Amino acid sequence: MRSPAFWPTHVVPPHGMPAWEAPDPARPTVPLDPLLPVQLEERFGDWGHIRCANGWAAWVDGRQLVALPQDPPGAEGATGGTEDPRPLLARAEQALADYRSAVEDLAAGDLDGESFGERTGGLRIGIVVDGESMWVYDADEGRWLYGDGRRLSTYATDRTAEGEHSGQALDRTAEGEHSGHAPTRYVAPKGEL
């Protein structure tokens, strides 16, 4: 299922993070993978309601989300985007083929759960394609890159800038300044204005 108008505004911190069905710690759901691109849709106190590229939504501790440094560069005027996307796409394709092979062997009974875990350990891929726009994860460098088919530019990294933490990055992101996606909606907790 594809979410209409998905435009990542943040990524999950490098260590991953827990998620909840509602802004209630008693209703946990599956945790989010490290560096997963998400769209922050609204805030409710410290809670953040996020949506993933596949349309799945959850509540998270919004203070831990890492704000993306800027909107992806446009085709005209992109700076620093000189990397050829083909080698990274080939590595992602190979990682997916390796994972698919392990899944097939597991389904056929040729692997047990432990062997499957050993065989797939360390495999990390991530890719979102929306028309000509692409976000691809470079596991070797620990970063997400944005591509327009011609070149790649670093979009987000798991390396924190000196003196910065995710809370600061979130605070300096002004609501509504990003083009291409709806602004984050802040909802005050009950009793607050």
The tens digit of pLDDT for each residue in 33-46 reads 988 899 999 998 89
Closest CA to 146 of 68, 93, 63, 94: 68
Give alpha helix (H) positions in 57-177: 85-107, 113-120, 166-171
The encoded tokens of residue 81 equal: 């985007």
What is the model's pLDDT at position 158? 64
Q: Across the chain, how many H-helices and E-strands are there?
A: 3, 12
For residue range 40-69, list pLDDT tens digits in order: 999 988 999 999 988 899 999 999 998 875
Question: Regarding beta strands 37-44 and 185-187, do their DSSP bridges make them parallel or antiparallel, or are they unpaired?
Answer: parallel
Degrees to nearest 5, angle at CA 98 with 7 and 157: 35
Mean pLDDT of the region 73-87: 61
Most confident segment among 84-98, 133-147, 174-188: 84-98
The answer to whether residue 181 scores a pLDDT higher than 50 is no
Confidence of residue 31 (pLDDT cuts 50, 70, 90): very high
For residue range 126-146, list pLDDT tens digits in order: 888 878 888 888 888 888 888
The mean predicted confidence, pLDDT, of the chain is: 76
Distance in angstroms between the alpha carbons of the first and the last residue of the chain: 37
Inter-axis angle of helices 113-120 and 85-107, nearest 10:
170
CB 92 within 8 A of CB 152: no
Say whether pTM exceeds 0.85.
no
